Amino acid sequence: MSVMTPPNVKNSGDYIEDVLATVKAKNPAESEFHQAVQEVLDSLRLVLQKHPEYRSARILERITEPERVLMFRVPWFDDRGEVQVNRGFRIEMNSAIGPYKGGLRFHPSVNLGILKFLAFEQVFKNSLTTLPMGGGKGGSDFDPKGKSDNEVMRFCQSFMTELQRHIGPDTDVPAGDIGVGGREIGFLFGQYKRLRNEFTGVLTGKGLNWGGSLIRPEATGYGCVYFANEMLKTRKETFDGKLCLVSGSGNVSQYTVEKLLDFGAKPITWSDSDGVIFDPDGIDREKLAWVMELKNVRRGRIREYTDKYKKAVFMPTDVKLDHNPIWNIKADCAFPSATQNEIKAKDAANLLKNGCKLVAEGANMPCTLEATKMFLDAKTLYGPAKAANAGGVATSGLEMAQNSARLSWTREEVDDRLHKIMIAIHKTCFETAEKYGTPGNLVNGANIGGFMKVANAMLDQGLV
Ligand code: NDP
């Protein structure tokens, strides 16, 4: 018996099912967290047979329990002078291989379960990047849509007034996510610096002239396409002329479209929460620049695209529909890049029916468990989020390295490192899937590849 073996480890029954049942009982009403844990634990069955030491050290019970959960009040004044109150969160999930690292999401749907799923995913994703980063995630139910710049600033200042006491360049380094882009990171950084009297790399995604890294804004989208390109290579295919569906129209979507154009593909869709744009002529660089201005400067809605580009069609969001129309458009590849669970079983069936051969997840957990299983069963090239969208956090890791060294690398140097990291992540996932007897199953490859390094570090560091 090892020093870590507790006296009453169960030997019978299905250990994985027991752990999952406990996670569900301890975290009721957190369905997204249950979903993320279930997907990872399902893959780990293959590992536990070979590594009983993880079970005796109760790594699964420990890795599914956040090291720390912070939840706090965020009061602020709106432009009419009225008091508004939001809820702030930071989940510090796992620091076995480095400081907590992961984005902040500002969206009205944000709650504890969503952030716990994102923080849990982040642990494995960060491990896959090969960089020394633990996993965390945070945010607020604050909705930046329709708010003035001053309101966003007052909110960010209030949020950081509490968060600053929990984070730091060697402790926890947040970044952006849905609703948190360059503007919000600027306000958050300004308030951190003012309160702590320190100019440090405490946030990533900073402005280029005050510590940000070149390519960080582009990294998640570019990285996702680099990863997808590696998947295509395994079947001796290229992006040339391939029709691509891209959902969302924010940071990840915009740079996915840009890199798809570099690779000779033909992206044909956008979306936001109001509906879907289908542009049969394809999105070119001029249209992309127009959307970037619409979304990043004017902060408008994607439906305006049809006012400018008359051949495009807008399909408004219809909650009564049993499917999302974006996934019912005939195409070769799909890049879900908006939000979680945007591809359900019916959408997966539509994609497969229309001959879609590749799904690369720019968003976090955009496919339900059922949809994922359908893609894997159909032998679709399927790039799970924690691998395919890891380019964002990998480049955040590069931003941290540049901040520590007080220097900045060129655009080409960062892009080259990002590209190599994405190739390496694909290789890890591909080879791990084979090693554990499920060739081509990159879900298993990513979950196992990400898990092993963290689990081994936890074993090395004792019962903490
Ligand atoms: P943005 O806020 O820049 O864009 C989000 C886009 O998705 C918007 O078009 C938004 O539309 C749409 N969207 C968000 N929520 C919903 C919803 N509930 N229903 C329909 N559409 C929705 O965020 P990002 O591009 O940064 O993030 C997109 C995804 O990528 C998220 O899952 C995020 O976790 C993931 N990701 C992001 C990384 C990054 O570096 N930014 C890194 C890794 C993953 P609307 O404006 O109407 O809300």
SS3 letters across 319-362: CCCCCCHHHHCCCCEEECCCCCCCECHHHHHHHHHCCCCEEECC
Give residue-wise pLDDT tens across range 133-159. 999 999 999 999 999 999 999 999 999
Query: Ligand 1: does its nearest atom lie under 6 Å from the Cβ of 249?
Result: yes
**What are the pLDDT digits (tens) for 366-415?**
999 999 999 999 999 999 999 999 999 999 999 999 999 999 999 999 99
Query: From the CA of 365, how far away is ligand 1's center (Å)?
Result: 12
Q: What is the mean pLDDT of residues 421-434?
A: 98
Q: What is the pLDDT of residues 266-308, one digit of tens each?
A: 999 999 999 999 999 999 999 999 999 999 999 999 999 999 9
**Given strand 135-140, what is the order of strands in its sheet?**
68-77, 83-94, 135-140, 100-106, 172-175
- 272 Cβ below 6 A of ligand 1: yes
What's the confidence (pLDDT) of residue 8? 47
Residue 5 confidence class, pLDDT cut points 50, 70, 90: very low
Q: From atom 17 of ligand 1, which residue's Cα is the shortest distance away?
A: 273
Name the residue with the closest Cα to ligand 1, atom 31.
363
Average pLDDT over residues 166-182: 97
Both tokens assigned to 220? 């998640």
- pLDDT bucket at 434, cuts 50 / 70 / 90: very high
All structural domains of the chain, each given as residue ranges with its CATH number in brackets, are 12-58 (no CATH), 68-200 (3.40.50.10860), 219-383 (3.40.50.720)
Percent of the chain with pLDDT over 70: 97
Cα(384) to ligand 1 centroid in Å equals 16
**Ligand 1 centroid to residue 51 C-alpha, Å:** 37
- pLDDT at position 238 is 98
pLDDT band at 340 (very low <50, low <70, confident <90, very high): very high
Please identify, by atom number, the ligand 1 atom nearest to the C-alpha of residue 271: 9
- Cβ of 363 below 6 Å from ligand 1: yes
Report the pLDDT averaged over residues 33-50. 95
Q: What integer pLDDT is reported at residue 11 of this predicted model?
A: 43
109 to each of 72, 87, 303, how far by Cα in Å? 16, 11, 22
Q: Is the pLDDT score of 4 beyond 60? A: no
* Per-residue pLDDT band at 46 (split at 50, 70, 90): confident
Residue 273 Cα distances to 107, 290, 342, 426, angstroms: 12, 19, 11, 31
Whether ligand 1 lies within 6 angstroms of the CB of 336 is answered as no
Express each pLDDT in 217-249 by its tens digit.
Answer: 999 999 999 999 999 999 999 999 999 999 999
Q: What does the pLDDT read at residue 6?
A: 45
Residue 328 beta carbon below 6 angstroms from any ligand 1 atom = no
Higher pLDDT, 448 or 1: 448
Mutate to test the pocket of ligand 1, among 105, 124, 339, 364 (most ligand atoms within 8 A of CB): 339
How does pLDDT run across 95-138, given as a tens digit for each residue? Answer: 999 999 999 999 999 999 999 999 999 999 999 999 999 999 99
The pTM assigned to this predicted structure is: 0.96
**Residue 252 CA, ligand 1 centroid: distance in Å:** 7
453 has catalytic annotation: no
pLDDT at residue number 159: 99
Sheet strands (E) in 47-130 = 68-77, 83-94, 100-106
C-alpha 178 – ligand 1 centre gap (Å): 4
CA 150 – CA 147 distance, rounded (Å):
8
Q: Which residue is catalytic, options 137, 242, 287, 386?
A: 137
- Count of C-beta atoms within a 10 Å radius of residue 135: 31
| pLDDT band, very low/low/confident/very high, at 7 (cuts 50, 70, 90) | very low
Give residue 265's pLDDT band: very low, low, confident or very high (50, 70, 90).
very high
| pLDDT tens digits, 10-26 | 443 499 999 999 999 99
